[in-house]
Structure 1
Amino acid sequence: MYTGIVQGIGQIIEIADQDKLRTYKIKLPHKLTNNIEIGASIANDGCCLTVTDFADDWVTFDIMEETLALTTLGDKKLHDYVNIERSAKYGDEIGGHVMSGHVSCTATIVDIQKTSTNCAMTLAMPAQFMKYVLYKGFIGIDGASLTIGEVKGDQFEIHLIPETLAITTLDTKKVGDKVNIEIDSQTRAIVDTVERVVLATKK
């Protein structure tokens, strides 16, 4: 489980490809290296990955072919950066919203408008997921818990404060870039339940 509060930025320092498997070695900020063990779960750009090896300030993750295809992790290159969050423990503050680290889909950035105090980003997402995107609802973007702004058609807007831009990789994004999306699980459950009930009443 994760909170959607990005704790730091990691850098890919080594990539090794095997048959239907890719291993990333990620250099972590020193503050995130305490008590790491093999088997621990760490979110990379919102994708829950399992630690397979570690030493000093780096960890490795094995990523399956399906994960590489369905998330932005398949597009990462050597020296790229990823948002990092260690898994939450019981009693931790949930500063964002509860997230699983299971990426639902990717979205494409279609517009960015920046001022000195705000960044408005418009994203386009596959139509089948838009029913879960509600004004003022929660959404996970590259592991960051964010509030949804205006929703129109297959696009929605988010607003990023300077602090979010400073502690995540979102400040480096450009129009045309893709980001990982995690739909809020409670929103998905409510929408799907209502759909089933409505469908049942029509039979």
Structure 2
Amino acid sequence: MFTGIVEELGEVTAVENLDDACRFRLRGPVVTADAKHGDSIAVNGVCLTVVDHEGDEFTADVMAETLKRSSLGALSVGSRVNLERPTAVGARLGGHIVQGHVDGTGTVLERTPSEHWEIVKISLPADLARYVVEKGSITVDGISLTVVEAGPEHFTVSLIPTTLALTTLGIKQPGDPVNLEVDVIAKYVERLLGTRGAAQ
């Protein structure tokens, strides 16, 4: 489990395209400090397994299903990525509960800067709109954010200078894809209420 508090801005150093998968090598001195084979690291919000690591780099395999459901297929050598290790039991939950299971992708639509923050408008797949509410939580490229405005086809988030400086949302431009993970609690509530209704 993750919390959506990005630990560092990493970089893709190699991409190996396989028949039905892709192998990435990524640089991240912070997340590799205690990494070992089999560990999980979230890359732009996608939970990946460490295959190998050497120095400040690690490799991870991404299967076709993940490439299809996320924006990882658009990464290339030099791409910057958000990196986060799983939260430790007993640690502070600084963001919200994040599984690293991407629900879909959106696209940056607009950026509206102001003196101390920036509003970013992101498209929202129709099947995810019911899970996104004003002042609720959403994960964008692995970043735990609070929804400012929730519409049927888009939502907005307000980014503070720290988020702009230390994550990919500081450099994403209109037209760029982003990974989205909605609040898992909302999905469980929906399923439970649906099951109860069906049983009556």
TM-score normalised by structure 1 residue count = 0.94
The aligned runs of 1:33-44 (5 Å cut-off) are 33-44=32-43
Q: Which residue of 2 aligns with 1:173?
A: 172
2:57 is equivalent to residue 52 of structure 1: no
SS at match of 2:30: helix
- Measure how far apart 1:200 and its partner are: 5.9
Identity across aligned pairs (percent)?
Answer: 35
- Measure how far apart 1:32 and its partner are: 2.5
Q: Which runs of 4+ in 1 moved over 6 A?
A: none
The aligned runs of 1:111-126 (5 Å cut-off) are 111-126=110-125
Separation of aligned partners in 2, 1:149 and 1:52: 38
Separation of aligned partners in 1, 2:127 and 2:73: 22
Which range moves more in the overlay, 76-85 or 150-159?
A: 150-159
CA contact (8 A) 2:41 2:86 kept: yes
Q: Which residue of 2 aligns with 1:80?
A: 79
Separation of aligned partners in 1, 2:30 and 2:195: 46
CA contact (8 A) 2:33 2:56 kept: no
- Measure how far apart 1:123 and its partner are: 1.2
For 1:32, the aligned partner's letter is: V
Aligned length: 200
For 1:5, the aligned partner's letter is: I
Q: Which residue of 2 aligns with 1:15?
A: 15
- Measure how far apart 1:122 and its partner are: 1.0
List gaps (5 residues or longer) in structure 1: none
CA contact (8 A) 2:31 2:41 kept: no
- Structure 1 residues 19-39: Cα deviation after superposition (integer angstroms, max 9, x where no partner): 2111100011x2332221000
Q: 1:131 to 1:162 in 2, by over 3 A?
A: same
- Measure how far apart 1:197 and its partner are: 4.4
SS at match of 1:111: strand
- Structure 1 residues 16-61: Cα deviation after superposition (integer angstroms, max 9, x where no partner): 1122111100011x23322210000000000000000101110000
Separation of aligned partners in 2, 1:73 and 1:177: 12
- Structure 1 residues 80-112: Cα deviation after superposition (integer angstroms, max 9, x where no partner): 011000111111111000111000000111111
Q: Which residue of 1 aligns with 2:181?
A: 182
Separation of aligned partners in 1, 2:107 and 2:194: 27
Q: Which residue of 2 aligns with 1:128?
A: 127
CA contact (8 A) 2:45 2:139 kept: yes
Q: Which residue of 1 aligns with 2:104?
A: 105
Q: Which residue of 2 aligns with 1:4?
A: 4
List gaps (5 residues or longer) in structure 2: none
Separation of aligned partners in 2, 1:196 and 1:122: 34
Which range moves more in the overlay, 58-67 or 190-199?
A: 190-199
For 2:177, the aligned partner's letter is: K
For 2:44, the aligned partner's letter is: D
CA contact (8 A) 1:132 1:191 kept: no
